Amino acid sequence: MERSIRAGRGWLGIRFCLCAQWGLYIGGTFQHVAGISANNVARWVASTNTWSALGSGTDGTIGALLFSGDTLYVGGGFIHAGGIEVNGIASYNVNSGTWSNLGSGMASTNLGVSVAALATDGSGNIYAGGRFDSAGGIPAVNIARWNGSSWSAMGSGLGSIWDLIQAIAVSGSDVYAGGYVVSPAGNLYKFDGSFWSVVGGGTNGMVSSWHSVGATCS
């Protein structure tokens, strides 16, 4: 079982924590943990009371962590992970200790890429949200789906490149996303497989966290 929490959003520090069977994983903006060199991501193993780096880490801030099977997915504002070009999102296999890209990753024509939210469903699809206008070379505004081999858009996406998706949750066949979106106004949305709609009238401010528990949200 894994649990995650968002931590403080300072310029230097931990932004995300994730507990899994392999230990406690932290991501953020740092270069050392307990005197060990670790670029923005690290693992704590309680049984041995030790920290360890995940290879060479990333060259920019990490804003989201997600486990699916034995793979750790990492999102943020970085270009490289483990020395390879990944563009905002990467995966790390905890058994082999290797980093991999997810296609060509994300791109933005106006602002720097930022992946701030990650989620998965029962079929193993990975959902990434943040600030970008393409994923794997496919037009996708601020949210996209990875099926293990390629990226796809989710409808027309959410907002514009000036907006930001910060939270994703999956409930049954529906995908929920929250953040700061000027148009369509509401900051809280549901994707039914074809279209996005505002949930319950939405909110008048940013949504930064979302989690579904037990029964479906519909």
Q: What is the pTM of this model?
A: 0.88
Which of 101, 122, 145 is where one domain is finished? Answer: 101
Structure tokens of 150? Answer: 């390629």
Asked if 96 and 114 sit in the same domain, the reply is no
**Parent domain of 207:** 109-218
Asked if 197 and 179 sit in the same domain, the reply is yes
Residues in CB range of 4: below 8 A, 6 or more apart: 16, 17, 18, 19, 65, 66
Integer-rounded Cα radius of gyration of the chain: 16
Asked if 85 and 120 sit in the same domain, the reply is no
Tens of pLDDT, residue by residue over 52-106, are 999 999 999 999 999 998 999 999 999 999 999 999 999 999 999 999 999 999 9
Tens of pLDDT, residue by residue over 114-138, are 999 999 998 999 999 999 999 999 9
Asked if 211 and 165 sit in the same domain, the reply is yes
Number of domains in the chain: 2
